[in-house]
């Protein structure tokens, strides 16, 4: 019994300790003298491996999500003779919720896990230590470009996801199920607002980008430097990121609905 | 993969995202209505606007000519003040035009239908539409029918 209480206390202290380490790491990564000329090529390289390589999965899943939402929505709306509302249904659900959230989950699985594994392997093969030896700060050289690439790519990917999903829904709704094209777009335009829907969706995706990138680089930086440790860190990245995205999505939605 | 082709791929990615954003802005959220210059503003006071919302269409004879930009409550008369933006300067309406809140279909959204009058003068920017008809509130109609009282409040002049 005493043992259990002891381990509970130890675990709690461990969690607090890790949160503190993550905070210190991100603080030391972000708060420093910027060196844009040297950092830019590093950032481009990471934008490629984080953003461009995630593009295929984002576009394909965006298309299918749009198509399935249109199909499901049509089958329900047709019972009320309200198929003209298919456009708003598709656009609102994709712009407000599905776009940022699904992109975040895919991003955590595709890019977050890759970031963790890459940094973890660097740590296991002592590349990070060697950098420190020769006077290059690994936080600047390795962590910072990866973190920023994640933060930049996530909203861009979410925007592409939303656009592709709406086009996919258009193909199913208009070309296949026979909703009128003009009604589809005009009812969508009259019910989707730039400010409260589109911008809020993008704000969500920026928040998710920060959270996923932070978790991914921290888990890689802090992993136990063995093959097993890297594997476990990668799993933790995906699990924590997914939970954080879903939880934060609720909080952000509640704040935005409350007219924040 | 060479450095040049990586930069090229990142460039394509960013351009793709910008194009998607432009498409979302104009095609999905219909921001073009605000950006387009020209047109003029009108306002109208209604006793009851029912379910009218911002951005609801304003039409003449079924043709969309503008949209609702703002809805506020007049603190002294307790009427709903609806601001309307007409998209084109060419839709000149006589000053005795009346505004009516209508519903698209049985369960559809509310919109404002304008019926032009016959006066020679036209509305100018900032004018107020004098003759307005409130939204048809189903509950009022039913209670009117049930109690057969001539309740002047619903569906009459403002």
pLDDT, tens digit (0-9, with 9 covering 90-100), for B96-132: 888 988 887 766 778 888 888 888 888 888 888 888 8
Provide the pLDDT confidence category of residue B29 given band limits of 50, 70 and 90: confident
Q: In chain B, which residues have their Cβ closer than 8 Å to the Cβ of A55?
A: 13, 16
Tell the burial category of A196 from Cβ atoms under 10 Å away from its Cβ (0-12, 13-18, 19+): middle
- Strands B98-103, B57-60: pairing is unpaired
Q: Is the per-residue pLDDT at B86 higher than 60?
A: yes
What does the pLDDT read at residue B152? 54
Q: Within its chain, how far is the Cα of A95 from the centroid?
A: 15
| A197 at interface of B, judged by CB pairs closer than 8 A | yes
Q: Select from A47, A80, A190 the Cβ nearest to the Cβ of B30.
A: A190
How large a percentage of chain B has pLDDT more than 90? 3
CA distances (Å), origin B12, targets A48, A153, A174, B45: 10, 13, 29, 51
Of A47-56, A229-238, B21-30, B141-150, the one with minimum mean pLDDT is: B141-150
Across all residues in chain B, what is the average pLDDT? 81
What does the pLDDT read at residue B158? 44
Beta pairing partners, B128: B43
Q: Select from B6, B29, B33 the Cβ nearest to the Cβ of A198.
A: B29
How large a percentage of chain B has pLDDT more than 70? 85
Q: Phi and psi dihedrals of B126, rounded to 5?
A: 90, 0
Mean pLDDT of A242-255: 93
Report which of residues B34 and A62 the model is more confident about: A62
Q: Taking the model in full, what pTM does it have? A: 0.77
The pair of three-digit structure tokens given for residue A102, joined into one six-digit string? 């699904």
Whole-complex ipTM: 0.80
Q: In chain B, which residues have their Cβ closer than 8 Å to the Cβ of A189?
A: 27-30, 33
What does the pLDDT read at residue B1? 63
Report which of residues B78 and B29 the model is more confident about: B78
| A165 at interface of B, judged by CB pairs closer than 8 A | no
Q: Is the per-residue pLDDT at A225 higher than 80?
A: yes
Q: Select from A44, A156, A198 the Cβ nearest to the Cβ of B24.
A: A198
Mean pLDDT of A54-68: 94
CB A211 within 8 A of CB A245: yes
Alpha carbon of A86: minimum distance to chain B alpha carbons (Å): 13
Of A50-64, A193-207, B44-58, the one with minimum mean pLDDT is: B44-58
Q: Is the per-residue pLDDT at B93 higher than 50?
A: yes
To the nearest 10 degrees (0 to 180), the angle between helices A144-170 and B3-23 is 50
The pair of three-digit structure tokens given for residue B99, joined into one six-digit string? 């505004």
Q: Is the per-residue pLDDT at B34 higher than 90?
A: no
For chain B, positions 98-127, list CB contacts with chain A under 8 A: 107-109
What does the pLDDT read at residue B32? 59
Q: Do A159 and B17 touch (CB under 8 A)?
A: yes
CB A212 within 8 A of CB A155: no
Q: Is the per-residue pLDDT at B37 higher than 70?
A: no
Across all residues in chain A, what is the average pLDDT? 90
Provide the pLDDT confidence category of residue B50 given band limits of 50, 70 and 90: confident
What does the pLDDT read at residue A260? 60
Q: Do B28 and A159 touch (CB under 8 A)?
A: no
């Amino acid at each position: 019994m005493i043992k259990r209480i002891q381990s509970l206390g130890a675990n709690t202290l461990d969690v607090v300790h890790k949160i503190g380490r993550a905070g210190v790491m991100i603080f030391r990564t972000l708060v420093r003298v910027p060196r844009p000329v040297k950092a830019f090529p590093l950032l481009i390289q990471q934008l490629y491996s984080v953003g461009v390589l995630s593009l295929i999965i984002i576009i394909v899943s965006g298309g299918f999500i749009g198509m399935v939402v249109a199909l499901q929505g049509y089958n329900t709306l047709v019972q009320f003779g309200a198929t003209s509302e298919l456009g708003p249904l598709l656009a609102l659900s994709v712009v407000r919720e599905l776009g940022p959230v699904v992109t975040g989950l895919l991003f955590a699985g595709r890019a977050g896990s890759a970031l963790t594994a890459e940094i973890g392997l660097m740590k296991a093969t002592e590349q990070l230590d060697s950098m420190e030896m020769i006077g290059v700060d690994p936080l600047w050289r390795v962590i910072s470009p990866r973190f920023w690439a994640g933060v930049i790519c996530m909203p861009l990917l979410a925007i592409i996801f939303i656009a592709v999903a709406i086009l996919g829904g258009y193909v199913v709704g208009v070309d296949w199920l026979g909703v009128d094209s003009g009604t589809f777009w005009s009812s969508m335009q009259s019910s989707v607002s730039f400010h409260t829907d589109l911008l809020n969706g993008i704000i969500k995706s920026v928040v998710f980008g920060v959270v996923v990138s932070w978790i991914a680089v921290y888990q890689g930086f802090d992993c136990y430097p063995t093959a097993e440790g890297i594997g476990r860190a990668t799993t933790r990245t995906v699990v924590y990121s997914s939970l954080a995205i879903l939880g934060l999505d609720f909080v952000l939605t509640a704040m935005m609905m409350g007219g924040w | 993969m060479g450095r040049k082709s990586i930069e090229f791929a990142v460039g394509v990615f960013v351009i793709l995202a910008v194009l998607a954003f432009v498409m979302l802005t104009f095609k999905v959220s219909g921001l073009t209505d605000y950006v387009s210059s020209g047109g003029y503003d009108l306002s109208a006071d209604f006793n009851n606007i029912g379910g009218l919302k911002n951005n609801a269409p304003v039409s003449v004879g079924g043709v969309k000519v503008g949209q609702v930009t703002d809805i506020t409550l007049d603190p002294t008369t307790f009427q709903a003040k609806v601001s309307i933006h007409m998209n084109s300067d060419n839709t000149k309406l006589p000053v005795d035009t009346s505004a009516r809140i209508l519903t698209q279909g049985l369960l559809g959204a509310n919109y404002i239908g304008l019926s032009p009058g016959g006066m020679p003068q036209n509305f100018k920017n900032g004018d107020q539409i004098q003759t307005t008809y409130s939204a048809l509130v189903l509950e009022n109609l039913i209670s009117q029918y049930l109690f057969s009282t001539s309740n002047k409040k619903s569906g009459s002049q403002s």
